[in-house]
């Protein structure tokens, strides 16, 4: 339909046995004074990463703060407490002192507290001697995509392709804490597609791509440059024609290699997932194969039930019934839910957690008749079932939803390419915390915006 890049989702199926890891569900918070209630005028910032092992009911945490107006005196997780509301102390992180510092440790967590974190009802708070009630605060939410510095905010990221052949790829990332990062050349533009995710479980997205299989060499693979130790990891997975859908399906904080395989017209599609928690393959028949490019079930994985695991899900388009419907296989109870929403002929399919309750919302971006026609976002909030309608962007833009302001809510965002292939590209973001728009120039029109990886 609208995006030719969908045709690049191709991989191969092959099982590899690798080491397993303990489950460590991850939560992130970006800390600043604006999120305090009431807000605090400070230039200090920080971030908090929390790794929860549900089998032992323990959490490991890393808390970083910078530029406090006075020495740090306390730090905690407070819960329950929604955005803008204050809550009681739930878990103490301790004191390191100074105006900048890092605190790490291990604590116990109760089932109630874990449930609150999954609902995004917990926040990290750093207290200073000038602001004893808290100088910087950050709402804890689940892992943000395209976050290469692990501070709980989406980064701006593009792939740059030189003229060729060969056409090696370079990653150009504008990280929200450390600034520009250039990595490469690495990969091949004719076969590779970005596969952002935390593949090693260190809380930071890895530079990764998926190499498509071709008729002469059908084996596909994921290639990952691991942020934890600067080594390359390789997963052979899928076969020619598969769709790449790597996400965290087992809730252990590590991205799982995954593909969706379509079959003959009218047959069931099959999902192949290599679970990082135990190294086994999970094979699930879900979805229906159609006859044309727009007459298909399109994979739209997300955590729709708020249990910390990505759910297998499709958006049904074309003449298939029920048409224009989100169909979700919930990981929490194994049941299937249906929600008719949007129209694939005119809409981008854009799931995300726009209301910040820990559950993915059904969302679409509706295009118009002309390239300059407004794009209108329609979002069904999972928290209360209400409908949000927001005009943002124009029809020629590419949606790039993500949490750019670090408030644990998905922001409406687009990538705008104008002029020639060397003209600058602009990211336009409607910040959910302030309801204001920011514009960030990054990359040129000939680049591919990694932030668009999750649209259909």
* pLDDT tens sequence across 298-314: 999 999 999 999 999 99
- Are 412 and 392 within 8 A, CB to CB? yes
pTM of the entire structure? 0.91
At 112, which helix (H) or strand (E)? Answer: helix 111-118
- Are 239 and 13 within 8 A, CB to CB? yes
- The per-residue pLDDT for range 159-193, each reduced to its tens digit, is 998 776 777 888 999 999 889 999 888 888 878 88
State what percent of residues in the chain have pLDDT above 90.
Answer: 76
CA nearest to 3, candidates 418, 398, 449: 398
Mean pLDDT on 47-70: 96
CA nearest to 51, candidates 117, 137, 112: 117
Q: Answer yes or no: is pLDDT of 281 > 90.
A: yes
| Count of alpha carbons within 13 angstroms of residue 189, beta-carbon side | 19
Sheet holding 243-244, edge to edge: 243-244, 258-261, 268-274, 281-288
DSSP assignment of 338-400: EEE-S-TTTEEE--B-SS-SSSPBEEEEE--SSTTSEEEEEEE-TTT--EEEEEEEETTSEE-
Confidence of residue 4 (pLDDT cuts 50, 70, 90): very low
Residues 331, 341: Cα–Cα separation, whole Å: 21
- Residue 383 to residues 52, 95, 174: CA-CA distances in angstroms? 24, 35, 32
CA nearest to 124, candidates 21, 245, 233, 27: 27
Q: What is the CA radius of gyration of the chain?
A: 21
Confidence of residue 449 (pLDDT cuts 50, 70, 90): very high
């Amino acid at each position: 339909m609208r995006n030719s890049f969908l045709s690049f989702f191709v991989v191969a199926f092959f099982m590899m046995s690798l080491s397993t890891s303990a489950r460590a569900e991850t939560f992130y918070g970006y800390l600043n004074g604006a999120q305090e209630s009431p807000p605090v005028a400070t230039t200090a910032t920080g971030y908090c990463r929390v790794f929860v092992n549900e089998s032992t009911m323990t959490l490991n945490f890393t808390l970083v703060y910078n530029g406090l107006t006075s020495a740090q005196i306390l730090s905690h997780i407070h819960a329950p407490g929604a955005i803008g509301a204050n809550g009681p102390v739930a878990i103490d992180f301790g004191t390191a002192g100074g105006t900048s510092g890092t605190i790490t440790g291990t604590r116990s967590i109760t089932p109630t507290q874990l449930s609150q974190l999954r609902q995004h009802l917990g926040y990290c708070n750093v207290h200073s001697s000038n602001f004893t009630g808290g100088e910087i605060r950050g709402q804890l939410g689940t892992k943000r995509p395209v976050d290469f510095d692990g501070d709980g905010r989406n980064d701006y990221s593009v792939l740059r392709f030189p003229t060729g052949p060969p056409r090696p790829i370079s990653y150009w990332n504008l990280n929200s804490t450390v600034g520009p990062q250039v990595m490469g050349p690495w990969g091949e533009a004719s076969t590779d597609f970005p596969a952002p995710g935390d593949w090693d479980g260190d809380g930071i997205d890895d530079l990764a791509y998926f190499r498509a299989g071709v008729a002469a060499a059908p084996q596909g693979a994921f290639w990952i440059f691991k942020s934890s130790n600067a080594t390359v990891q390789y997963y052979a997975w899928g076969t020619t024609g598969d769709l790449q859908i790597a996400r965290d399906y087992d809730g252990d904080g590590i991205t799982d290699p995954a593909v969706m395989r379509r079959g003959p017209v009218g047959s069931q599609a099959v999902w192949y997932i290599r679970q990082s928690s135990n190294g086994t393959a999970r094979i699930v028949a879900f979805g229906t194969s159609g006859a044309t490019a727009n007459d298909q079930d399109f994979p739209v994985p997300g955590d729709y039930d708020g249990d910390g695991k990505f759910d297998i899900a499709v958006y049904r388009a074309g003449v298939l019934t029920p048409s224009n419907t989100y169909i979700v296989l919930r990981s929490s109870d194994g049941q299937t839910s249906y929600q008719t929403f949007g129209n694939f002929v005119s809409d981008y399919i854009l799931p995300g957690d726009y209301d910040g309750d820990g559950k993915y919302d059904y969302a679409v971006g509706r295009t118009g008749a002309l390239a300059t026609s407004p794009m209108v976002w329609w979002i069904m909030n999972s928290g209360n079932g209400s409908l949000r309608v927001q005009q943002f962007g124009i029809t020629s833009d590419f949606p790039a939803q993500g949490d750019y302001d670090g408030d644990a809510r998905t922001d409406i965002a687009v990538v705008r390419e104008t002029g020639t292939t060397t003209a600058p590209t602009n990211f336009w973001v409607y910040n959910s915390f302030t309801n204001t728009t920011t514009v960030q120039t990054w990359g040129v029109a000939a680049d591919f915006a990694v932030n668009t990886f999750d649209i259909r």
